[in-house]
């Protein structure tokens, strides 16, 4: 017997970052949109906890207890006094260290899968609580759709979305570490007056209306200058997408994946073709959002 859960990647259509707090974290106003790139997490009873991973980036995924999927299984097992004796297999389609919350997706997926496998019947509140313990982006991976995250990003408010948005994602030749990007943000903003992060009302209105032009005018990412500073070649990828007619171009979260909002599905294909031909990225994917959160598929 085994349980498989499918979990989406995310793009931040707004990422407003406040000054570093005394504890080193930053307050955020973070508008997440789940998109149709998925990892699949399958859990099967085993003699002991074991993690395996398949997919183009599998070599970069830790297979020990630091893997967020393993940590999710351990936390749930500890809360129930169980032994986390389970084989977790991750079918990985979300780029690793790409700013698309791939590790967080696997954490949320393993949690939901183990809950179903062990019959632990955790409430939605408890699942969200465990997700927040695992990491700031993990609760959103569980809920999907669109949401505003505040605090470190883990306090979520679900947002209305009035249509489907078409996206192109360009995967970069190497990863970027999220803590390194925040450190670069701190360096670039040192001595400056960093405003309190607040959500953009025009952006929330654009999502609610399902209006890609209005969304394009409102997207923003305060981490983008830091990601570009650490990975200057990303500017060429952004320029290639803009030249191909993308309505908006941005670094996804802490990067280095770049995201391109297209007017419609047809325009997304054109942007994707131009990006592939540009030689400025490793691979290109078209998809759309919002996508549903973690879902048991079998
Ligand atoms: P975010 O968008 O949430 O900042 P990310 O998408 O940039 O994250 P991840 O793919 O989540 O980055 O990986 C970040 C690091 O986390 C990896 O380099 C890896 O060492 C570690 N990690 C732990 N568990 C996983 C997992 N299941 N999949 C991928 N990376 C994992």
Q: Tell whether 137 and 176 lie within a shared domain.
A: no
Same domain membership, residue 26 and residue 142: yes
The chain-wide mean pLDDT, for the chain, equals 96
Active site residue 92: no
Looking at the fold, whether 132 and 90 belong to one and the same domain comes out as yes
Q: Which of 57, 106, 137, 222 is catalytic?
A: 137
Is the pLDDT at 132 greater than 90? The verdict is yes
- Measured CA to CA, the distance from residue 98 to residue 255 in angstroms comes to 5
Read off the CATH number of the domain in which 68 is found.
3.30.230.10
> What's residue 151's pLDDT?
82
Same domain membership, residue 181 and residue 135:
no
**pLDDT of 153 higher than 70:** no
What is the ipTM, given to two decimal places? 0.93
Q: Are residues 49 and 184 in the same domain?
A: no
- Minimal-distance CA residue to ligand 1 atom 24: 67
Q: pTM score, two decimals?
A: 0.95
Domain-located, residue 218: yes
44 vs 65: CA distance, rounded Å: 17
Is 188 part of a structural domain of the chain? Answer: yes
* Averaged pLDDT, 59-74: 97
Residues 91 and 173 in one domain: no
Q: What is the spatial distance between Cα 117 and Cα 239, in angstroms, rounded to a whole number?
A: 47
Q: Detail the residues annotated as belonging to a binding site for ATP.
A: 95-105
Q: Is residue 297 part of a domain?
A: no
CATH classification at residue 256: 3.30.70.890
Q: How many domains does the chain have?
A: 2
Among 159, 186, 216, which residue terminates a domain? Answer: 159
* 226 vs 266: CA distance, rounded Å: 32
Here the tokens at position 241 are 């997408």
> What percent of the chain lies above the pLDDT cut of 90?
93
pLDDT of residue 155: 81
Is the preceding omega at residue 214 within 30 degrees of 0, hence cis?
no
Q: Which residue range forms the structural domain that includes residue 150?
A: 3-159
184 lines ligand 1 (CB under 6 A): no
Q: Which of 159, 191, 222 is the last residue of a domain?
A: 159
**pLDDT above 70: residue 286:** yes
- The preferred substitution site among 102, 179, 294 for testing ligand 1, maximizing ligand atoms within 8 Å of CB, is 102
Question: Is 90 exceeded by the pLDDT of residue 80?
Answer: yes
Q: Are residues 171 and 255 in the same domain?
A: yes
Q: Give the end of a domain, one of 97, 131, 159.
A: 159
Quick check: helix, strand or coil at residue 251?
A: strand
pLDDT at 137 over 70: yes
Encode 107-141: b = buried (16+ Cβ within 10 Å), e = exposed. bbbbbbbbbbbbebebeeeebbebbbebbbbbbbb
Task: Work out the percent of the chain whose per-residue pLDDT is above 70.
Answer: 100
d(CA 136, CA 29): 12
Q: Is 10 a catalytic residue?
A: yes
Q: How far is the CA of 97 from the centre of ligand 1 (A)?
A: 5
Q: How confident is the model at residue 97 (pLDDT cuts 50, 70, 90)?
A: confident
pLDDT tens string 200-234: 999 999 999 999 999 999 999 999 999 999 999 99
Kindly report, residue by residue over 161-215, the tens digit of the pLDDT: 999 999 999 999 998 999 999 999 999 999 999 999 999 999 999 999 999 999 9
């Amino acid at each position: 017997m085994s349980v498989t859960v499918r979990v989406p990647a995310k793009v931040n259509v707004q990422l407003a970052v406040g000054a570093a707090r005394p504890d080193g974290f930053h307050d955020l106003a973070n508008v997440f949109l789940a998109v149709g790139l998925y990892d699949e997490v399958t859990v099967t009873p085993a003699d002991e906890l074991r993690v395996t991973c398949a997919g183009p980036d599998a070599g970069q995924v830790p297979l020990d207890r630091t893997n967020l999927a393993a940590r999710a299984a351990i936390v749930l097992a500890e809360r129930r006094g169980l032994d986390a004796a389970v084989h977790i297999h991750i079918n990985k389609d979300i780029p690793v260290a790409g700013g698309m919350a791939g590790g967080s997706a696997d954490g949320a997926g393993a949690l939901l899968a183990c809950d179903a496998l062990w019959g632990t019947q955790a409430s939605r509140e408890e699942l969200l609580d465990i997700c927040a313990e695992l990491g700031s982006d993990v609760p959103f991976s569980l809920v999907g759709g669109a949401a505003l995250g505040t605090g470190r990003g883990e306090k979520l408010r679900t947002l209305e979305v009035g249509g489907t948005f078409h996206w192109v994602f360009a995967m970069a030749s190497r990863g970027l570490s999220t803590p390194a990007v925040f450190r670069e943000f701190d360096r670039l903003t040192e001595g400056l007056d960093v405003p309190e992060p607040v959500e953009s009302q025009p952006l929330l209105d654009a999502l609610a209306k399902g209006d890609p032009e209005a969304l394009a005018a409102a997207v923003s990412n305060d981490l983008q200058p830091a990601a570009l500073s650490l990975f200057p070649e990303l500017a060429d990828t952004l320029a290639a997408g803009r030249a191909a007619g993308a309505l908006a171009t941005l670094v996804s979260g802490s990067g280095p994946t770049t995201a391109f909002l297209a007017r419609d599905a047809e325009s997304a294909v054109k942007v994707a073709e131009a990006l592939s031909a540009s030689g400025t990225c490793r691979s290109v994917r078209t998809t759309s959002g919002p996508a549903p959160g973690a879902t048991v598929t079998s």
